Amino acid sequence: MAAVNVLETKGLTKIYGGVEANLDIDFQLRKGQITALIGPNGAGKSTFVGMVSGRTLPTRGTVSFAGKDISHLPAHKRMQLGMAYTFQITSIFPGLSVYDNVDLAAGRKLANDKTALAQKTTQVLDRIGLTDRADQTAQDLSYGHQRILEIAMGLAQDPTVFILDEPTQGLSESEVDDFVTLMKSLAGETTILLIEHNMRVVSETADYITVLDQGQVLASGTPDEIHRNAAVQAAYLGTTSDA
Amino acid sequence: MTLHIAVLVVLLGLFFVLPAYHVGAFSRIMVLAIYAMGYNLLFGYTGLLSLGHAMFFAAGMYGFGLTVNLFGFSVAPAFLTGIIAAAALALIVGYLALRTAGVAFMIVTLMFAQTVYLVILYFGEYTRGDEGFVVQQAQRSFAGIDLTGETERYFAALILFAICFLAVAKLVQMPFGKRLVAIRENEERARMLGYDAAKLKLHALIISGAVSGIAGATYGLLFGYVGASFSTVQYSIFPLLWVLLGGAGTTIGPLIGVIFMFYLIDISSGYTDAYLLIAGVALVLLTLFAPLGLVGTLRKRAFPWLP
């Protein structure tokens, strides 16, 4: 299958005072698929998505989105082009209602069409299972629900590329199951870049995996290929089996 | 919107029931409430704490007063000049000060306001500095109406208050207003939803400055005095106190805050010279027990429908 790359990086590098957090990363995100970015702590995953989303400026290298070089665009412009981003540390509007949180996310595109906006917001809340809590203040939600709310805010933007930075961190097993189901239901609808620690989530959802280690791409491939890759086993899986 | 209309109806009714002294007081209160609403837009809705809003009030006041005095402008163009002066100042200050946030933003705005104060003193030849100048009665009539009379003044204040009040109420309901609240709640999240936070904050500051300028120009027009004391730090702190007392991020909070503070000082000064002490204690108690302000606390505790 000839996959079309919706997002690409070439030679993406970030150097923090001599430390190469990311070094010459060439990466392709295949349209309509779920790509997981994995790697041990400190591998440079967050730095990488920071540069992709525009939160962090690269030392050198380029990011292109839908064939267009977006390396010099600020983060909000990249989001306007069709990216959505969920933070590693939950980031919502704590003092606003659940409904208003989603409404603001959907409202960037739909603010001028009240009916469409209300419809979109209701539909997203329904899909993610937060309809009953729509009127609650977001900060009063449980941690798990707050994380789900943030994912809802991503979905409400109808993103071309949805970047999720460790979305299952701190979720209970049953919440993780719900998350996996949700990711599968998004297959084909949107392209997903998933930064994930939880190997069960990765193996159940990812179509494609890229492994980062010490700021560099160690391997890329289908889950099977990654599973058989000796270097990955040594650097990453090996450490978990020792534990 | 019905609640907002009800507030305006009450203010209209007060004119007919209040004794003359309090009618005069309410004229002043409504003008200062315009200033508080301008401040609230930036502080209460956008979450930016400025310590220099007196510069915008003064820009409106001097933009009005100086053009009347020096160039013989009539009321309408002079008033408009005041608003434009305040908005332009807000644009310049915002362009520079919004590169900072939090405490740094407070200090930078404070410094800009201090600069404006010193500029007013420096050009004392035209501004008459601290002493200020009077706008003559003959120059304060609009469309044949002499705005120096108590009745005319009350209604002029009420009309201008009503326009600003309804406009702000509408503005915060619009997508623009909701986005300002989003910035207040979590700026980074707003940016990562694709909102241009820097631009939104600049627009908020310009509108906030312009509304404060309207208040300054109205003050000069209705009370006939223009002086440098209105650009001092004290006049930058006042709107912060009014908004905190009334309820930040509520549409009627600023008005309530101004009324409360005005009468707190007015009544306590009738009993003792140490009225500022009483005012201070009341402020401390309110901050402790009603941290969301009068309206904000009532809204949270009992009346969620309060605007």
- For residue A203, give how far its alpha carbon lies from the nearest alpha carbon of chain B (Å): 28
Q: How many angstroms away from the CA of B246 is the closest CA of chain A?
A: 19
Given this model, what pLDDT does residue B148 score?
82
Residue A3 at interface with chain B, using a CB cutoff of 8 Å: no
Residues whose CB is less than 8 angstroms from the CB of residue B109 and which lie 6 or more positions away in sequence, other chains included:
B50, B51, B52, B53, B93, B97, B236
Q: Which of B73, B41, B87 is nearest to B248 (CA)?
A: B41
What backbone torsions phi and psi does residue A162 show, to the nearest 5 degrees? -115, 115
Are the Cβ atoms of B194 and A93 closer than 8 angstroms? no
Cβ–Cβ < 8 Å for B259, B161: no
Please report the number of interchain residue pairs, chain A to chain B, with beta-carbon separation below 8 angstroms. Answer: 56
Judge whether A23 is closer than 8 Å to chain B, CB to CB: no
Question: CA-nearest residue of chain A to B195?
Answer: A76
Q: Which residues in chain A are closer than 8 Å to B191, comparing Cβ atoms? A: 75-76, 79
Parse chain A into domains and list their residue ranges: 1-81+197-243
Strands A216-221 and A68-69: unpaired
Check CB contact under 8 Å for B193 and A105: yes
Is A3 within 8 Å of A60 (Cβ atoms)? no
Amino acid A232: pLDDT = 78
Structure tokens at B152: 């005319």
Tell me the CATH number of domain A1-81+197-243, given options 3.40.30.10, 3.40.50.300, 3.30.499.10, 3.40.50.2300. 3.40.50.300
- Note the pTM of the prediction, 2 decimals: 0.91
- Token pair of A16 as six digits: 């923090």
B299 interfacial to chain A (CB closer than 8 Å): no
Q: What angle do CA B20, B150, B250 make, to 5 degrees?
A: 80
Take residue B257 and report the two structure tokens written for it: 């805050």
Nearest CA to B155 out of B60, B37, B65, B23 is that of B23
Which residues partner with A164 through β-bridges? A86, A194
SS3 A188: coil
Q: How far is B301 from chain A (nearest CA, A)?
A: 15
Of B189, B194, B197, the CB nearest to A108: B194
Q: Measuring CA to CA, which residue among B7, B38, B45, B14 is closest to residue B238?
A: B38
B189 to chain A, any CB pair closer than 8 A? The answer is: yes
Residues of chain A with pLDDT under 50: 1-2, 240-243
| Residue at A69: amino acid letter | D
Q: Which residues from A are below 8 Å from B178, CB to CB?
A: 100, 103-104, 107
Burial of B85 (0-12, 13-18, 19+ CB in 10 A): buried
A75 neighbors A52 (Cβ within 8 angstroms)? no
- For B182, which of A76, A79, A104 is closest by C-beta distance? A104
Closest chain A residue to B197, measured at CA: A76
Distance from CA of B196 to the nearest CA of A (A): 6
Structural tokens at position B237 = 């702190």
Q: Which residues of B touch A153 (CB under 8 A)?
A: 193
* ipTM confidence score: 0.89
Is the Cβ of B173 closer than 8 Å to some Cβ of chain A?
A: no
The helix or strand, by DSSP H or E, that contains position A10, with its residue range, turns out to be strand A5-16
What are the per-10-residue average pLDDT scores of chain B (307 residues)? 89 90 93 97 95 96 94 92 97 95 94 96 88 84 81 93 96 94 95 95 97 96 93 93 91 94 89 84 85 86 81
Is B246 within 8 Å of B260 (Cβ atoms)?
A: yes
The share of chain B scoring above pLDDT 90, in percent, equals 68
Is there a contact between A92 and B194 if contact means CB atoms under 8 Å apart?
Answer: no
Q: Say what the pLDDT of residue A42 is.
A: 83
Distance between terminal CA atoms of chain B?
Answer: 9
Which tens digit of pLDDT belongs to each residue from A150-178?
A: 999 999 999 999 999 999 988 889 989 98
Sequence length of chain B is 307
Residue A5: how many other CB atoms lie within 10 Å: 15
* Total residue length of chain A: 243
